[in-house]
Structure 1
Amino acid sequence: MADAAHSPVPPGAVPVPGVTHPPTCAGIAALIDSPGTSALVLDVEGILVTYRAGRPALHDGFPPVLARLADRLGQVLLITRRPVTDLFRGHAGLAPLSDRLYVLGSCGTQAWDPATGRVHTPVGPAPMAWLRAELPFLLEKLRLSAWVEVEDRGPMVALHPLPEGDAAEIAERLRTPLTRLAARHHVHCEVSAERIELGRSCVHLGTSLPAFLIAHDAGPVLYATAGAVDTRAAAALGGLRQAGVPVTMLHTADTPCLTPVDEEAFQGCHADTALADPDAVLAVLAQFADALEGSSPRRRPPGRDRAADPAPWGDAVGRRRRPGL
């Protein structure tokens, strides 16, 4: 149902200049027609945050636009591979929005609730604690300690082959031993040439993203992504689309094509609209925010007292460990 204070977009209209693909126009129009039940899902890596000389840098243009959208849409949800606390502690521009943005961190194993200002971690610590204890000995046995950087992500551990070595060879040498280690501790192991991730298999973006959207009674969904598409998130959104939820995807031109299996699960969402770069995504979101100006501000539930608790994430999950165990 359209927002009572906002007139629906006429069929066939172009609600956002520069986006003319009919399915995308229809999807954005659906969000404009019912902003209070709509959700924006945005990948952090590659859009909000890019890497310059190996260091993460926040795109300064996104926070004010996200603030405008958070005032109009039902939910604005950020997805990041890294812990939730890194997002707010590491990027000062996002910290003032911590009481307005939802976040799924560590590939969906952490959830930030802006109303309470706390991180919920549904992953039990015991299996990962045992795995962390064994991992240094395994790397030493394989003589790879000097060739791998270990990053502790809270409920997950990521191993990054150092650039001085052959990343593909290192990943291949680690594949079988780490798969066995993960199986022994009942955790998930995902191996690629760029990284190896170990974490609980029962919680990931394929489960936490649809659970979040369903729990919040989300209607139309706009998903903006860059770089490698998380195939489990894609499959989850494809399932929602098959169930009748309008799902629209914006992605940067460097997003690789999905495999046929993923493409079938995602029901063509990856082909909605390709944009040149994060600046182009920002331009579309800014125009989207302009189109929502006539809608009623959404009612946010009573949140925490930010004056009394300005940075709760400092105590929510503790400080992140430095790479290396």
Structure 2
Amino acid sequence: MGNPAHPLPTPSTQAGRDGLAVLLERPGRAVVALDFDGTLADIVPDPEQSRAHPDVLPALSALAPQVAAVAVITGRPADTAVRYGGFAGAAGLDHLVVLGHYGAERWDAATATVHAPAPDPGVEGALAELPAVLAGTGAGEGTWIEEKGRAVAVHTRRAADPQGAFEALRGPLGELAARHGLIVEPGRLVLELRPPGMDKGVALEEYVKETGAEAVLYAGDDLGDLAAYAAVEKLRDRGVAGLLVCSGTEVPELAERADLVLSGPAAVAELLHSIARRITQP
């Protein structure tokens, strides 16, 4: 695909190669959408210590002015992703959008404000019961509760048997979520309870429609990104070119559907920077 001075990895599928080609040919009609944790930031034991990889901001600052739009779509609260990403006031990111809580919240760099609906009362009810549920399963030791305002997550990465604790909690947390009208979103050693009706696929489809994009790149790393992958596949059926990028290989369900599998956030940042260079120096 072109200039050897700025090599780009070649997608493994024809649909992915077509998606990348359209993005490079018509960047002003392309949306670049990205998950945060595991995609722009390395996974860490304490989610509060998560920060964007050092190469991410320079890559986004180089790419964002060249494309129609860049959006970060995350399960985190929008303002948390903005802080952990260092996005506010960053050069070139004047029109960045962060869609938090799977799209329920929206932060626009242009106004530096978050727009969001009222919190779901089911989250507060589930949070009140959660300590007792964890204690009752015997899997609570070493787990960590993350309050997200519009959702609550239980992390098992610190448990003595992280995967065993994760599996032991799936049933009880599913029952707790159902009692409060919530759903459970499984991830990499984390189970998140949140309101139904919004996911990364819905958020991505709505944003692509809003922008009128003719091409979309989506990069993610976890099970919650499958909905966004499905959205890109539907958009392809409607004539929108798409490129699916997987950050890491820890989630086979995602890697097997991706057009391009990268090693992690550093490689994602390099891809974004390489695309920016190819657009400006074809």
Aligned residue for 2:61?
Answer: 67
Tell me if structure 1 keeps the 8 A contact 2:123–2:151.
yes
Q: CA deviation at 1:199?
A: 0.4
Higher helix residue share: 2
Q: Aligned to 1:70, what secondary structure does the other structure show?
A: helix
Aligned residue for 1:166?
Answer: 161
**Aligned counterparts of 1:51 and 1:59: Cα–Cα separation in 2:** 10
Aligned residue for 1:45?
Answer: 37
Aligned residue for 1:32?
Answer: 24
Aligned residue for 1:103?
Answer: 98
Q: Aligned to 1:71, what secondary structure does the other structure show?
A: helix
Counterparts in 2 of 1:143 and 1:218: CA distance versus 1, 3 Å: same
Aligned residue for 1:210?
Answer: 205
**Aligned counterparts of 1:253 and 1:150: Cα–Cα separation in 2:** 25
Is 1:84 paired with 2:84?
no
Aligned residue for 1:19?
Answer: 9
- Percent identity reads 30
Q: CA deviation at 1:106?
A: 2.9
Counterparts in 2 of 1:47 and 1:182: CA distance versus 1, 3 Å: closer
Q: CA deviation at 1:152?
A: 0.7
**Aligned counterparts of 1:20 and 1:140: Cα–Cα separation in 2:** 49
Aligned residue for 2:151?
Answer: 156
Instruction: State the TM-score, normalized to the length of structure 1.
Output: 0.72
Gaps of 5+ in 1: 1-12, 296-325
**Aligned counterparts of 1:195 and 1:253: Cα–Cα separation in 2:** 17
Q: Which amino acid aligns with 2:197?
A: C
**Aligned counterparts of 1:280 and 1:247: Cα–Cα separation in 2:** 19
**Aligned counterparts of 1:282 and 1:251: Cα–Cα separation in 2:** 12
Is 1:289 paired with 2:276?
yes
Which of the numbers 162, 178, 186 marks the counterpart of 2:181? 186
Counterparts in 2 of 1:123 and 1:210: CA distance versus 1, 3 Å: farther
Q: Aligned to 2:42, what secondary structure does the other structure show?
A: strand
Q: CA deviation at 1:187?
A: 0.9
**Aligned counterparts of 1:175 and 1:226: Cα–Cα separation in 2:** 20
Aligned residue for 2:238?
Answer: 243
Q: Aligned to 1:81, what secondary structure does the other structure show?
A: coil
Counterparts in 2 of 1:173 and 1:48: CA distance versus 1, 3 Å: closer
Q: CA deviation at 1:245?
A: 0.9
**Aligned counterparts of 1:70 and 1:154: Cα–Cα separation in 2:** 29
The count of aligned residue pairs is 274
Aligned residue for 2:127?
Answer: 132
**Aligned counterparts of 1:191 and 1:257: Cα–Cα separation in 2:** 14
Gaps of 5+ in 2: none
Q: Aligned to 2:252, what secondary structure does the other structure show?
A: coil
Q: Aligned to 2:89, what secondary structure does the other structure show?
A: helix
Summarize deviations over 1:275-298 as a string: whole Å, max 9, x none.
344333333322211232279xxx
Aligned residue for 1:7?
Answer: none
Summarize deviations over 1:61-104 as a string: whole Å, max 9, x none.
22122122221211111123322212232344x33236431112
Which is greater in Rg? Answer: 1
Tell me if structure 1 keeps the 8 A contact 2:214–2:239.
no
Summarize deviations over 1:227-247 as a string: whole Å, max 9, x none.
667211111111111222100
Counterparts in 2 of 1:114 and 1:234: CA distance versus 1, 3 Å: same
Q: Which amino acid aligns with 2:72?
A: L
**Aligned counterparts of 2:43 and 2:252: Cα–Cα separation in 1:** 22
Counterparts in 2 of 1:192 and 1:257: CA distance versus 1, 3 Å: closer
Tell me if structure 1 keeps the 8 A contact 2:157–2:189.
no
